[in-house]
Structure 1
Amino acid sequence: MKNILYGTAYYYEYLPVDRLDKDIEMMTAANINVVRIGESTWGTYEKQDGVFDFSPLDKVLDAMHAAGIKVIVGTPTYAIPTWLAKKYPEVMVQINGQRQPYGARQIFDISNPTFLRYAERIIRKMMAHVAHHPAVIGFQVDNETKHYGTSSENVQKGFVQYIKQEFNNDLDRFNHEFGLDYWSNRINAWEDFPSMDGTINGSLKAEFDKYRQQLVTDYLKWQVDLVKEYRQPDQFITHNFDFEWRGYSYGVQPDVNHFDASEALDYAGGDIYHPSRKHLTGTEVSFAGDELRTLKHDNYLVMETQAQAFKQQVPYPGQLRQLAYSHLASGANMIEYWHWHSIHNSAETYWKGILSHDFQPNPVYNEVKQTGAELKKLSSHLVNFKIKSEVAFLVSNQSLTAVNAFPFSDERNYNDLFRSLYDQFYRLNVRTDITDEHHIKLDDYKLIVVPALYSISDDFLKVLNDYVKRGGHVIYTFKSGFADEHVKVRTDRQPGIVSEASGVHYEMFVDPDGTKLVGQTPSLQDVKDDSLKDWMELLIPDTAEVLATYDDPNWSDYAAITKNQFGKGSVIYMGCYPSAEVITDLVRDYVKEIKLNTFAENFPVIVKQGQNDLGKTLTYYFNYSSKSQTVKQPVAGNELISDQPTQQQFQLAPWGVAIVEED
């Protein structure tokens, strides 16, 4: 891309009054240069079966083009029209045998043949209508697509065919591999294959989720292939992936394999939401950006992020501007707010956009306007920002699903563990990528961080051992290497193949029940929070050095955290779930030991560094606090926003940002 794209989702169809010209006037004043339209209005463009009307789309496209605003068009398939649900109720998603009622979005079965037939028709009609319009720069296929928990009859039948193919029609091998003799769950004829709604078998449940994730990958690729038939050579195709939702983007998406599903796209795109005001840390922007950037090993697009949103997410002054630069510092080439104007009725009335319900300028709009002016001025310095990380987080959809089937806690899950590690690397300003076991390029990294790699093949664990032997470094957490790729627990002494590189084994694991950590290194001996959560493996060192033990006298002979030299590399194994303070100290010491590049600053000052399109090193500094912060060891160069040379040290205002381009 030649310029940073800065924009918003725009829904002309939702407006209570026609104010298109006024909206464009306000957008132009704010230097908004791109809008996303069309992705939610199938029922407007096809009011009845086969009756199409794209005049609202045409009106917006023509007006945006006249104003010099670029447009991304979304295929409108994530919300189906009433007539389709009425005429073909079988398209509605079934969960646990119950067909869901019409009303909400994303309540259909993405693999249903009838739905696919009608979805293909609206996509083709829409693409033929808009692809040649000069305003259109790209397309978004569907919207935050997931499998929606579907277990409809055609999904169940498809899963049986998938198992047949995977096991070459060998029922005995399948039964043995999945342990189906337990409780007479054995399947002795393919026609007896039961619904997965009631399965108690964790291996089978995980495989069914893997199959449903593949449905999403196939569905998105199917849409991409349709759009490719119509798009022009200079138009891109993307999708807006979302993440595990806890009122904001929290962790790895359990219902979609982003790593597989992104392969068909030109650009990875994502919807990134986060806490605001005093709860804002920038962590969600960073982790989501790290994953989206690594999906294609390229710059990505922020298809949605919040402006005002709900009342608990209204930003402090300065936060919206800071967050725009935070996205760019993680490798985004586009930032789009959801959405332009607040909606006056229906489900998302109080998820407010840039403009409130009165459509008047307000502090959020004014900050968008300020940011837009700065981005227009600095775009050539900020676009196509490239990042090289020395650390990769290896996350695993398979392990996430398996840990859901066999949880280590009643209160925390896989993503809690992932975030407990990721957040500390972020706060220490250690740059990371995020990828999975099928896409990781191991030799690109000095350190691999592996949260709960519970379900994984022997072959990949051996590859990780070889990586360490060649000089790489790994941090494993508890529950790694425990089960194979079909979630079948290994019969080896745990952690199985991981033991070779980690130099440790265990035979028992227990609930901490108040047990605390006892540090055996200077930094771990000084921690104030020595509490443990959820899980303790009673580690027995073979060749490993003990970094921490347990304070319970009954468990004091066992190790809690170890480090082992293996070949030219090393492994830290965390057999417990310690506090954030312990993880911070552990990471800080290890990063220093293996000589990773670091910065003097720590949170709330966040530093992001890379190369810009002009071939120069660009360093972003962020202050994620309401107090002024001092950057004591800044990079020498020119601060782009103020156009002033950096001094020996400088102040960052509350929620402030500085961007230094090296001389």
Structure 2
Amino acid sequence: MAPKGRDWRTEQFRLGACYYPEQWPDNLWEDDYRRMKELGFSVVRVAEFAWSIFEPEEGRFEFALFDRAIDLAHRYGMLVILGTPTATPPAWLTAKYPEVLNAKQDGTVYQHGQRRHFNYNAPIYRELCARIVTQMAEHYKDHPAVVGWQIDNELNCEVNTFYSKADHAVFRVWLQEKYGNLHALNQAWGAVFWNQTYSDWSQVHLTRLTPSNSPNPHQALDEKRFFSGSAISFAKLQSDILREKAPNQWVTTNGMFGHLDSHRMMEDTLDVFAYDSYPNFSTISPDQGERPLLDRKWSLNLSAARDVSPNFIVMEQQAGPGGWVNRIEMPSPKPGQMRLWTYQSIAHGADMLLYFRWRTATMGTEIYWHGLNDYHNRPNRRIEEAGRIGGELKRMGGQLLGTMYQAEVAILKDYDNEWDGELDVWHGPLTGKSISGWFKALQRRHIPSDTKYIRSSTTLKDLIKYRVLIYPHPAIMPESTAELLQRYVESGGTLILGCRSGYKDATGQCYMQPFPGPLADLCGIEVEDFTLIGPLQQAPDIHWEGGNTLQGDAFVDILRVTSNSAEVLASYASDYYAGKPALVRNMRGKGTAYYYGSAFTEAAACALIAEMGLISPAAKWAELPEDVELAIRAHEGSDKRYAFLLNYAHEERSVTFLTPQRDLLTETVLHGVCAIKPFEVCVIEI
């Protein structure tokens, strides 16, 4: 674990913006900082794309522009987060050292002209990155305005696969360290199948194009682990320098993107994690199934960031419509939505928040990725809205600092299944369906939930604080994880599993035992048969005890009860497996394990919520409509709690307060039936 730098939190909630002084005439800077201060802003992020400003030619360093910009920020009381500029290597670098460029799987090399066109493993790139970070750290380590560093920008964004010559070479070294010898590698990759056995390390590569574009799945899983390790090594290269050269400044980076173990990166390199929150993505890529949550779905993403760092920074909060010149078309946030999304981030654990960006770019790929200010730089409604938020947080934001999101339910995930499921369509697509179904059901019943990643370091203490764990489709199930889940259930927890669970080991190879493999005894069942529901087939009806008939989705595990402590709660009511168990509950020790033989829909999740007797923590003091999200933050060991009510509806909604509650944002008392305006937020001390 990385040694920690200075604490990143201050006595007040810091609100601010991403700012690019190198993109604007310097006669605008002072007016920009003055207006930021008037809005209640007190922090800016700068310089993450400015390598050629600091090093205009190899070995010649200049700091004058950012010295003036940062000194001026300090005069206006602004804290500064400095980005290391390694996400965009300058043209002189890529021209002289083309080996730093990334490549596609077929070997085609990406060229200079966008961003993130480099690879993490070229020795010369690591050397030059270390040099620019060292120069910047030594120069700004004692500047009174500079409080922290953002490493790079959005590691693994845009592209999260790496096939340069340097990557192939380092992959072999990585495999040699992991397996020790070729025999162990061949065993782990099942290389005897289709005669893929390797007899010399020079034969081993990252996956390359194959006739059906279906590479060895075990090799592909290791490849993604390698991509993650490369990104973490690149981040650690920089954080180690920053720790040494600027020990009184904290270190973060912003994510989270594919093929990157953000949890390990946090442990190895960072003081705090930062997330970039753009809820309007959900309007162009809605969640799966009926009745999409749209921007409310972003709360699920924020819960994943919270698992990396219980309190985190939102380094980029959406402030306008987003779009590049060639992709991503979003509507503008309606009046009030930017404020709603701000408090959505805070409700889920953000203790510092910066808008992207202060002013919309007039040049380049992101001229349609709108910030707070428009091109004309005149007042607009987004600026007015930001000022309202700034005033509110200046008044009450300090009370929230350090409070933690409260949940008794967690949705479990893990990187191995996430990465394996990208290639393996027999289980990968099921997870998105089921998590969406569960999250909708929990949200609309106002039951707060966490996202919890299962890792090799996860302990019973990490899990037992949750009353319920939902692990929809963990196909890869190491025996050690199965034993941990068994201890969780025996200690009084409730575990819910779905189809396709427990049949692969850590290499991605299938166990030679009945499904669900090492989970079978815990669940009191075996899978006697199974089928994918084909595109022209009807999903089966499932009859639940108590009279409900719901429809399965995507896949069917046909169950057989193997334990006297197991009870059938639902059975298939159609097709050749009619009458066979679909949902089984098994009592084990003090707890319960459920196995459901299909993918979870919102209706199925609701039925299980009712079966378990889960109710909202707000039930004693309010009646909440479906469109209003409930989130609760509290100080550890304290009875003082803060409830966030967020109305995502585009219309007014009514909330019935059963007992008087004071809204900290408006300082009014709410009691009885109260109208909540579209996109309105209440923060209540309960």
Question: Which position in structure 2 is the counterpart of 1:606?
Answer: 629
Question: Which position in structure 2 is the counterpart of 1:299?
Answer: 311
Aligned mate of 2:74, from 45, 65, 72: 65
Structure 2 Cα separation of the partners of residues 382 and 35 of structure 1: 21
**Pairwise CA distance, 1:499:** 1.2
Deviations 1:176-212 (A, max 9, x none): 3321111111112223324422462101110111111
Structure 1 Cα separation of the partners of residues 516 and 607 of structure 2: 24
Q: Specify the code of the residue in structure 2 equivalent to 1:260.
A: R
Deviations 1:462-517 (A, max 9, x none): 11112112211111122221100000111110011111111121143212221232
Q: Any idea what SS the aligned residue of 2:315 has?
A: strand
Structure 1 Cα separation of the partners of residues 170 and 282 of structure 2: 47
Structure 2 Cα separation of the partners of residues 53 and 216 of structure 1: 28
Q: Specify the code of the residue in structure 2 equivalent to 1:172.
A: H
Question: Which position in structure 2 is the counterpart of 1:374?
Answer: 392
| Runs (5+) with no aligned partner, structure 2 | 1-8, 284-291, 323-328
Change (3 A) 1:87 1:377: same
Mapping of residues 207-222 of structure 1, within 5 Å: 207-222=222-237
Q: Any idea what SS the aligned residue of 1:104 has?
A: coil
- For the 8 Å contact 2:311–2:349, the answer to whether it is kept is yes
Q: Specify the code of the residue in structure 2 equivalent to 1:161.
A: V
Structure 2 Cα separation of the partners of residues 166 and 418 of structure 1: 32
- For the 8 Å contact 1:272–1:284, the answer to whether it is kept is no
Q: Specify the code of the residue in structure 2 equivalent to 1:306.
A: Q
Q: Any idea what SS the aligned residue of 1:449 has?
A: strand
**Pairwise CA distance, 1:625:** 0.7
Mapping of residues 443-522 of structure 1, within 5 Å: 443-512=464-533, 513-522=537-546
Structure 1 Cα separation of the partners of residues 98 and 191 of structure 2: 34
Change (3 A) 1:561 1:254: farther
Q: Specify the code of the residue in structure 2 equivalent to 1:99.
A: V
**Pairwise CA distance, 1:556:** 0.6
Structure 1 Cα separation of the partners of residues 302 and 539 of structure 2: 37
Question: Which position in structure 2 is the counterpart of 1:406?
Answer: 424
Change (3 A) 1:556 1:261: same
Aligned mate of 2:364, from 306, 331, 346: 346
Q: Any idea what SS the aligned residue of 2:142 has?
A: coil
Q: Any idea what SS the aligned residue of 1:274 has?
A: coil
Question: Which position in structure 1 is the counterpart of 2:554?
Answer: 534
Q: Any idea what SS the aligned residue of 1:84 has?
A: helix
Mapping of residues 422-441 of structure 1, within 5 Å: 422-438=439-455, 439-440=457-458, 441=462
Structure 1 Cα separation of the partners of residues 48 and 663 of structure 2: 39
Q: Any idea what SS the aligned residue of 1:229 has?
A: helix
- For the 8 Å contact 1:15–1:343, the answer to whether it is kept is no
Does 1:650 find its partner at 2:650? no
Mapping of residues 359-370 of structure 1, within 5 Å: 359-370=377-388
Structure 1 Cα separation of the partners of residues 231 and 299 of structure 2: 25
Q: Specify the code of the residue in structure 2 equivalent to 1:12.
A: P
Change (3 A) 1:615 1:596: closer
Question: Which position in structure 2 is the counterpart of 1:625?
Answer: 649
Deviates more, 1:482-491 or 1:605-614: 605-614
- Runs of 4+ off more than 6 Å: 276-280
Structure 1 Cα separation of the partners of residues 100 and 37 of structure 2: 42
Question: Which position in structure 2 is the counterpart of 1:159?
Answer: 171
Aligned mate of 2:609, from 564, 587, 590: 587
Deviates more, 1:636-645 or 1:372-381: 636-645
Change (3 A) 1:135 1:413: farther
Q: Any idea what SS the aligned residue of 1:312 has?
A: coil
**Pairwise CA distance, 1:615:** 6.2
Q: Any idea what SS the aligned residue of 1:519 has?
A: strand
Question: Which position in structure 2 is the counterpart of 1:98?
Answer: 108
Does 1:638 find its partner at 2:651? no
Mapping of residues 40-59 of structure 1, within 5 Å: 40-59=49-68
Question: Which position in structure 1 is the counterpart of 2:40?
Answer: 31
Structure 2 Cα separation of the partners of residues 523 and 46 of structure 1: 71
- For the 8 Å contact 1:306–1:337, the answer to whether it is kept is yes
Structure 1 Cα separation of the partners of residues 216 and 659 of structure 2: 55
Question: Which position in structure 2 is the counterpart of 1:250?
Answer: none
User: How many equivalent residue pairs?
Assistant: 642
Structure 2 Cα separation of the partners of residues 367 and 180 of structure 1: 59
Q: Specify the code of the residue in structure 1 equivalent to 2:486.
A: N
Identity percentage of aligned residues = 24
Question: Which position in structure 2 is the counterpart of 1:248?
Answer: none
**Pairwise CA distance, 1:167:** 2.3
- For the 8 Å contact 1:627–1:653, the answer to whether it is kept is yes
Q: Any idea what SS the aligned residue of 1:646 has?
A: strand
Change (3 A) 1:417 1:236: same
- For the 8 Å contact 1:402–1:454, the answer to whether it is kept is no
Deviations 1:129-167 (A, max 9, x none): 122111112111111112731122222222222222222
- For the 8 Å contact 2:495–2:592, the answer to whether it is kept is yes
Change (3 A) 1:598 1:198: farther
Question: Which position in structure 2 is the counterpart of 1:134?
Answer: 144
Q: Specify the code of the residue in structure 1 equivalent to 2:161.
A: G
Structure 2 Cα separation of the partners of residues 218 and 105 of structure 1: 20
Mapping of residues 73-84 of structure 1, within 5 Å: 73-84=82-93
Aligned mate of 1:238, from 252, 259, 283: 252
Change (3 A) 1:262 1:640: same
- For the 8 Å contact 2:625–2:653, the answer to whether it is kept is no
Change (3 A) 1:78 1:343: same
Q: Any idea what SS the aligned residue of 1:335 has?
A: strand
- For the 8 Å contact 2:321–2:333, the answer to whether it is kept is no
**Pairwise CA distance, 1:34:** 0.8
Question: Which position in structure 1 is the counterpart of 2:262?
Answer: 258
Deviates more, 1:551-560 or 1:71-80: 551-560
Does 1:420 find its partner at 2:420? no
Structure 2 Cα separation of the partners of residues 395 and 620 of structure 1: 26
- For the 8 Å contact 1:386–1:611, the answer to whether it is kept is yes
Q: Specify the code of the residue in structure 2 equivalent to 1:429.
A: H
Structure 2 Cα separation of the partners of residues 621 and 634 of structure 1: 15
Structure 1 Cα separation of the partners of residues 676 and 344 of structure 2: 15
Mapping of residues 537-556 of structure 1, within 5 Å: 537-543=557-563, 544-556=566-578
Structure 2 Cα separation of the partners of residues 68 and 44 of structure 1: 24
Mapping of residues 249-328 of structure 1, within 5 Å: 253-263=257-267, 264-275=269-280, 281-296=294-309, 298-310=310-322, 312-328=330-346
Deviates more, 1:109-118 or 1:608-617: 608-617
- For the 8 Å contact 2:657–2:670, the answer to whether it is kept is no
Deviations 1:560-591 (A, max 9, x none): 23222222111122221243222233234325
Does 1:391 find its partner at 2:409? yes
Question: Which position in structure 2 is the counterpart of 1:145?
Answer: 155
**Pairwise CA distance, 1:24:** 1.4
**Pairwise CA distance, 1:313:** 3.6
Q: Any idea what SS the aligned residue of 2:376 has?
A: coil
Structure 2 Cα separation of the partners of residues 655 and 273 of structure 1: 16
Q: Specify the code of the residue in structure 2 equivalent to 1:192.
A: Q
Deviations 1:44-71 (A, max 9, x none): 2211111222222112111111111111
Structure 1 Cα separation of the partners of residues 122 and 587 of structure 2: 53
**Pairwise CA distance, 1:16:** 5.9
Deviates more, 1:438-447 or 1:76-85: 438-447
Question: Which position in structure 2 is the counterpart of 1:442?
Answer: 463
Structure 2 Cα separation of the partners of residues 496 and 597 of structure 1: 36
Q: Specify the code of the residue in structure 1 equivalent to 2:93.
A: L
